[in-house]
């Protein structure tokens, strides 16, 4: 039995005593203990692929802050790496692939990786973290969305204008659908393996869905996330496994996202949470949505912002407090404490 | 008298025979004749600062395509450069400043540049282009928005997460407002000087307004664009000067944008133009909104997409056809012809 099940309950829109809180990228570079471990380990993937180190990094922020969930420490590009694209990290430039996807011939070579073999380091990390969490707080598993993975695979790394991947989408839509289908099948197997290994909730990160038009978002991103949600294990050992769907820049499509059957929809900060609740709050829980840059200011301003967002959401459950995107590496750790504590302190009044 | 005043009329929501069309960054790297001239000139700023070369580059796309407007060839960062920040271009990395803005002390040093001195190369380009256009098509002047200029000035160049500029905005809002105010005054003077020199329409590019929350967009971007619009020359020699306001990622704020008194609101491709028209089409004209990446596909698909967007907008004037953002440098010039011609061919039926 989970001692702190506030996150699970809120993501399922069930009553809670306080609004739960966590942060995207809560295990990461803003923490000196993370930077120290990473320097010792050598590089980022050395942390990801070693279950003991991934566990240690996952737990670091929970020792400092009263977070209501842990999230698996891993990279969103583990699946394309397992498909043989050769993930590596250029210093200061982010992730890149040695063998990017250029055409239908490359796509024809791809197959769903054996997640219990090629991605065993991830499921091993999940079970190690679960053991070490000792049922104190739940563990969230995650994956990038098919469209988001495809952007990196076709561009060969990060991109400013998405010309290659969108060029392929418009010029060779059948090839793009084939790529997204194999990715959707892979993500489904990957998330289910994380659930079998002990993840008590899962989240789909559609970081780049927002670069598409409404029509193309539905056809090339949302459709494949729907396919994944349809195939996910939703209950294990009598416990529901909440699913959170997050499309950065997706404010225009909240109703469509809510119709997928996800339990919780992640919001970035460009939409007010009261408007989002009015639109879809009767169907799903909402996660978000403080601008991560607020954390550059002072504890007093952070508390004020947290209180404002809680007041906008208003009474009742169905709110998982989070940033609208990942915490930046240059944030002062003491400001994170102000954020976490303020959510618990100011939210009690909305759960009477 | 303008021979082709379709763009001016549509931007003012007045009747036209066909929907006018132009493209953001229509003068630029996708054209071989541009690349040739730039190679001869040495670098990008050598083109911008030489009125004859800026004129030549501005006119290049009009020789190839039946565009309904020319847009001044210049950079959006001319104002901070005139303020003394030292604009330069790193190969492959975009614009950068030798002396970025770090704090209130730097902001205290800034003043509204004498646009008739420091930016004379721009107004000279405007009058040279006007002379060479020979009243065939109108000339659009432009500027970056204060918030967009501030992002480059504080970050020192391009940025992925806007941590510095948003950090300053949240930590030192008074300093940020001071910076935005001097920029708003500078942009007003700059656009009015372009109008005096012959620009027959102007456009404000708020490329980075979309990285803000609703509250912060209003306080730190829209407010200063409103200040500019209030100070612009709106009529010259009996001709109205249409003003277009474009915030990339601004789909959530269209009503607020339309209330500024701008004649035309620019849309990116993430919102359907029929929905945008239903929301604000009775107040303003709309510019947009084809995804620039459609131009990577085939002439047939481009024609289909143009026809779809025209059908979505529907009957009547008030639509200036454009891409939702600038054309990419790797687009094939023949695909642009398909785009321009399709707008004229398929739009006649909506203007009977």
The H-assigned helical ranges of B76-206 are: 78-80, 104-108, 120-133, 146-155, 163-171, 173-197
Separation CA A275–CA B257 (nearest Å): 18
Between the CA of residue B233 and those of A185, A226, B182, what are the distances in Å? 58, 51, 19
Q: How confident is the model at residue B274 (pLDDT cuts 50, 70, 90)?
A: very high
Residue A182 has pLDDT above 80, yes or no: yes
Closest CA to A177 of A141, A152, A146: A146
Interface ipTM: 0.95
C-alpha triplet B270, B273, B277: angle, nearest 5°: 130
Q: What is the pLDDT of residue B246?
A: 98
- Point out the residues of A that are catalytic: 25, 29, 38, 75, 152
Ramachandran angles phi, psi of A159, nearest 5°: -145, 155
Q: Could you tell me if B298 lies within 8 Å of chain A, comparing CB atoms?
A: yes
CB contact set of B128 (below 8 Å; sequence gap of 6+): B51, B52, B54, B55
**Predicted pLDDT at A91:** 76
Asked if A252 and B271 come within 8 Å (Cβ–Cβ), the reply is yes
Give the Å distances, CA to CA, from A79 to A127, A224, A334, B55. Answer: 19, 15, 34, 50
Is residue B182 within 8 Å of B112, Cβ to Cβ? yes
Q: What is the pLDDT of residue A93?
A: 76
Q: Kindly list the residues from chain B whose CB atom is less than 8 angstroms away from the CB atom of residue A174.
A: none
State the first-to-last Cα distance of chain A, in angstroms, to the nearest integer.
Answer: 24
Q: Cα separations (Å) of A279 from A82, A256, A322, B75, B215? A: 39, 11, 19, 41, 19
Rounded mean pLDDT of chain A? 97
- Which 3 state secondary structure label does DSSP give A250? coil
B91 pLDDT more than 90 = no
For A139-173, the pLDDT digits (tens) are: 999 999 999 999 999 999 999 899 999 999 999 99
What gap in Å lies between CA A324 and CA B162, rounded to an integer? 14
Minimal Cβ distance to A163: which of B170, B210, B293: B293
From the CA of A319, how many Å to the nearest CA of chain B? Answer: 19
Residue A301: count other Cβ atoms within 10 Å of its Cβ.
17
| DSSP string covering A42-77 | -SHHHHHH-HHHHHHHHHHHHHHS--S-EE----TT
Note whether A74 and A59 are within 8 A (CB): no
Global model pTM greater than 0.95: yes
Instruction: Name the residue among B170, B214, B216 with its Cβ closest to that of A297.
Output: B170
Residue A172, SS3? coil
Q: Mean pLDDT, to the nearest integer, of B18-32?
A: 97
Phi, psi of B341, rounded to the nearest 5 degrees: -65, -35
- At residue A179 the predicted structure's pLDDT band, cuts being 50, 70 and 90, is very high
Q: How many CB atoms lie within 10 A of CB B115?
A: 23
Q: Any chain B CB within 8 A of the CB of A328? A: yes
Query: What distance in Å separates the CA atoms of residue A128 and residue A160, rounded to the nearest whole number?
Result: 37
* Chain centroid to CA B189: 17
Closest CA to B251 of B262, B267, B230: B267
H helices within A134-222, ranges in order?
A: 146-155, 163-171, 173-197, 214-216
> Chain A contact for B32, CB < 8 A?
no
Q: Does B272 contact A214 at a Cβ distance shorter than 8 Å?
A: yes
N- to C-terminal Cα separation, chain B: 24
CB contact under 8 A, B272 and A213: yes
pLDDT over 80 at B92, yes or no: no
Residues B332-337: what's their mean pLDDT? 98
- Segment B89-99 shows an average pLDDT of 87
Q: Which of B251, B271, B294 sits opposite A170 (nearest CB)?
A: B294
Q: Report the run of H or E that residue A302 belongs to, with start and end.
A: helix A299-313
- The pLDDT of residue B220 is 98
pLDDT tens column, B223-263: 999 999 999 999 999 999 999 999 999 999 999 999 999 99
- Are the C-beta atoms of residues B155 and B83 closer than 8 Å to each other? no
Nearest to A173 by CA among A218, A210, A224, A219: A219
Residue A92 predicted with pLDDT over 80: no
Mean pLDDT (chain B, rounded): 97
Residue of A nearest to B294 (CA): A170
The Cβ of residue A231 has, within 10 Å, a number of other Cβ atoms equal to 14
Q: What Rg do the C-alpha atoms of chain A give, in angstroms? A: 19
Measured CA to CA in angstroms, residue B268 lies from A62, A210, A237, B125, B161 at distances of: 41, 11, 47, 28, 20
Distance CA B87, CA B80 (A): 8
Size of interface A-B (CB pairs under 8 A): 87
Average pLDDT over residues B269-281: 98
Which residue in A251, A252, A294 is closest to B170 by CB distance?
A294
Total Cβ atoms within 10 A of residue A230: 11
């Amino acid at each position: 039995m989970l001692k702190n099940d506030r996150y699970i309950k809120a993501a399922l829109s069930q009553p809670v005593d306080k609004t739960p809180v966590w942060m995207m990228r809560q295990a990461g570079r803003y923490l000196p203990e993370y930077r120290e471990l990473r320097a010792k380990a050598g590089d980022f993937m050395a942390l990801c692929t070693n279950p003991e180190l991934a566990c240690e990094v996952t737990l670091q922020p929970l020792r400092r802050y009263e977070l209501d969930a842990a999230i698996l420490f891993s990279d969103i590009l583990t699946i394309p790496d397992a498909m043989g694209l050769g993930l590596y990290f250029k210093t200061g430039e982010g992730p890149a692939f040695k063998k990017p996807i250029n055409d239908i011939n490359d796509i024809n070579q791809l197959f769903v990786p054996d997640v219990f073999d090629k991605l065993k380091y991830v499921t091993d990390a999940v079970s190690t973290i679960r053991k070490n969490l000792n049922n104190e707080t739940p563990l969230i598993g995650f994956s990038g969305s098919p469209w988001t993975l495809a952007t990196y695979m076709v561009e060969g790394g990060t991109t400013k204008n998405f010309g290659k991947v969108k060029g392929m989408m418009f010029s060779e839509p059948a090839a793009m659908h084939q790529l997204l289908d194999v990715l959707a099948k892979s993500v489904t197997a990957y998330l289910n393996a994380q659930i079998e290994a002990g993840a008590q909730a899962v989240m789909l990160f559609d970081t780049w869905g927002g670069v598409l038009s409404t029509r193309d978002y539905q056809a090339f991103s949302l459709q494949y996330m729907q396919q994944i949600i349809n195939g996910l294990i939703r209950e294990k050992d009598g416990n529901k496994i909440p699913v959170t769907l997050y499309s950065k820049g997706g404010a225009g499509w909240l109703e469509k996202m809510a119709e997928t059957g996800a339990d919780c929809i992640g919001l970035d900060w460009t939409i007010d949470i009261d408007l989002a609740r009015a639109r879809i709050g009767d169907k799903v829980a909402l996660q978000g949505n403080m601008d991560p840059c607020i954390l550059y200011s002072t504890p007093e301003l952070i508390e004020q912002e947290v209180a404002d967002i809680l007041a906008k959401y208003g009474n009742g459950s169905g709110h998982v407090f989070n940033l609208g995107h990942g915490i930046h590496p240059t944030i002062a750790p003491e400001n994170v404490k102000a954020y976490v504590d303020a959510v618990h302190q100011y939210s009690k009044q909305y759960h009477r």
